[in-house]
Structure 1
Amino acid sequence: MKIRLDCIVCFMRQALKASRLSTSDKKIQEKVLRSVMEELLKLDWSSTPPELAHRVHSVVKQVTGVKDPYREVKRMSNDYALKLLPRLKKIIEESVDPLETAARLAIAGNVIDFAVYDDLQVEETMMKVLNQDFAINDYEAFREKTLESKNLLFFADNAGEIVFDKALIETMIEARSKPYDRITYVVKGRPILNDATLEDVEYVNLTSLSNISFETILSEENVDYDKSTGKISR
């Protein structure tokens, strides 16, 4: 995945939002934007978006002194999703096909912005995803792999969403009637935006799943996405 010109504009918006989450001082916010612009001008735009995002958010942290601008946003998202978890489990347990329902709810978790959605928007999104047809439906292949595979590799996305992931993984294990030999759950190795980190998986108790281990990508030491994921795939 290579950079498009639209990505550069998006990076500036991300930098502004992160600076506002970090401080109310407009002079520091302005310094963040100026510093990010300078950094972007120096960087190779043929790099991948994750690599440039790493540099952009490193600048934000250096200027503001705040390591994780989205920490409170992520905590709120996780708390909101954890509050929903009993309802998610009830919907899954009472459905005709619990595995498909859990997969659909995980998709809803990917769509929902827990930091800004109210209760009604969350409910509407869940019901829409539960009832609409998939544009591309690979469920039967997914079910087959769920039942026959010995190991599971799962890439996390955002805080809050990982609670929906947990419900899905638990349902996958129940559908198999036995645990996986190994579950590898992959998160970011450093705070960036509202992406899940090890702190988040511990907070929502993903560590309670049987035979689960955690790997990280895009750490402070390694910002090469291909190298990070290549290590995990091996």
Structure 2
Amino acid sequence: MRCFVDCVYCYLKQAVTCMTIAGINEDRQYPILYELMDDIKIMDSRRTPAENSTELLQKVYKLINNDDPYLEAKKKSNLLALELYPELKEYLKGSKSRLNDALKISVSGNVIDLGINKSFDINASLKHSLNTGFSKDDFGSFVKKMNQENNIIILGDNAGEIVFDKLLIEELVSMGKKVTYIVKGGPVLNDATMEDAIEVGMDNIARIVTTGSNYLGAPLQKVSEETQKLLKETGLIISKGQANFESLEHEETAKDKVFFLLKIKCECVGIVAGAKFGDIVFFTR
């Protein structure tokens, strides 16, 4: 997915949100934003929004002298999600369509996105996901593909959300599948890292691999050779969140094997995905 004009606003909004969460006062934020505007002027609009956002955020981190401003927020998100985990586990036990509901629970965690928003309502997101369902739904195609594949990759997104992914993985493992869960190789926004995966016990049920990079999403030219090989050779991939969608939706290797699982939180992503703002979707290209 290439950039839209609206992405320019989001670059700056992400920077402001990041600095606010890091405790940077407004007087100090102004000169940093003015400096960032010079970088935005020369950004390549043919690249993905995720790539441009990452490089702008890397500069913000350097200017505020903080390499992980979301560290405490990530820990709080993980704790919040872990508190909900037992109740959601019980819900799935009584479900008549456990895999489908596990996917809906997984995507409900996609609301835990602190790139633009400073807060979220996870309970409202859970209710919406379970009651409303997917506006674009390729669940049938996913099941057919899953029946042909023993190995599944899940490209993770945010901290906290990772706990909801854990419920999905447990369901897949109970069906005899081997799951590899991919997290970021370094801190960026509130994206999940290896530390988050271990914190929530993901390493007990899945193989954990990092992208080898702290780029948002999974841009093939920025991730490690190991991750590139996994994405190329694995026959079924669940891609969580917008940044992963931005990175992969246009890639030929994603066709028919990458299923995008996300909440549409951006009008531009909605245009490319063929969905409306606020929708939850599960589909392949």
Superposition TM-score, scaled by structure 2 size: 0.71
1:141-188 CA-to-partner distances (Å, cap 9, x unmatched) read: 2233334411111111111111010100101121x2x342xx321222
Counterpart in the other structure of 1:72: 72
Residue 276 of structure 2 is matched in structure 1 by none
The answer for unaligned runs of 5 or more in structure 2 is 233-285
1:72-91 equivalences in 2 (<5 Å): 72-91=72-91
Q: CA deviation at 1:18?
A: 0.9
Q: 1:116 aligns with which of 95, 119, 132?
A: 119
Pair 1:27–1:81, CA change in 2 (3 A)? same
> Deviation of residue 133 (structure 1)?
4.4
Q: Where does residue 9 of structure 1 map in the other structure?
A: 9
Q: Which moved more, 1:141-150 or 1:185-194?
A: 141-150
Larger radius of gyration: 1
Q: Rate the CA distance shift 1:231–1:107 in 2: closer, same or farther, 3 A.
A: same
| Distance (Å, rounded) in 2 between the aligned partners of 1:233 and 1:41 | 33
User: What is the Cα deviation at residue 35 of structure 1?
Assistant: 2.0
Q: Does 1:202 align with 2:198?
A: yes
Alignment partner, residue 187 of structure 1? 183
- Which stretch shifts more, 141-150 or 152-161? 141-150
Shift of 1:206: 0.7
Tell me, yes or no, if the aligned pair for 1:184 and 1:213 is still in contact at 8 Å: yes
**Corresponding position of 2:252:** none
| Inter-partner Cα distance in structure 2 for 1:56 and 1:19 | 12
- Aligned mates of 1:55, 1:124 — CA distance in 2: 32
Classify 1:167/1:11 alpha carbon distance in 2 versus 1 (closer, same or farther; 3 Å). same
The one-letter amino acid paired with 2:93 is: E
Q: CA deviation at 1:41?
A: 2.1
Against the structure 1 CA distance between its residues 7 and 217, is the aligned structure 2 distance closer, same or farther, given a 3 Å change threshold? Answer: farther
On the 8 A contact 1:50/1:223 being kept in 2, the answer is: yes
- State the Cα RMSD in Å: 2.4
Structure 1 equivalent of residue 220 of structure 2: 226
Equivalent residue pairs, number? 225
**Structure 1 gap ranges (5+):** none
Q: 2:46 is matched with which residue?
A: 46
| Corresponding position of 1:213 | 208
Identity %, equivalent residues = 32
Given residue 233 of structure 1, which amino acid in structure 2 is its aligned partner? L
Q: Which residue of 2 is the match for residue 163 of structure 1?
A: 163
Spell out, residue by residue over 1:82-104, the C-alpha distance to the aligned partner (whole angstroms, 9 max, x if none).
11000110000011121122111
Shift of 1:217: 5.4
Amino acid of the residue matched to residue 181 of structure 2? Answer: Y
Distance 2:134 2:46 in 1: 34
Change (3 A) 1:93 1:193: same
Of 105-114 and 188-197, deviating more is 105-114
The one-letter amino acid paired with 1:216 is T
Corresponding residue SS for 1:213 = strand
Q: CA deviation at 1:111?
A: 3.4
Match of 1:96, as an amino acid? Answer: K
**1:103·1:168 contact (CA, 8 Å) conserved in 2?**
yes
CA distance in 2, matches of 1:43, 1:128: 37
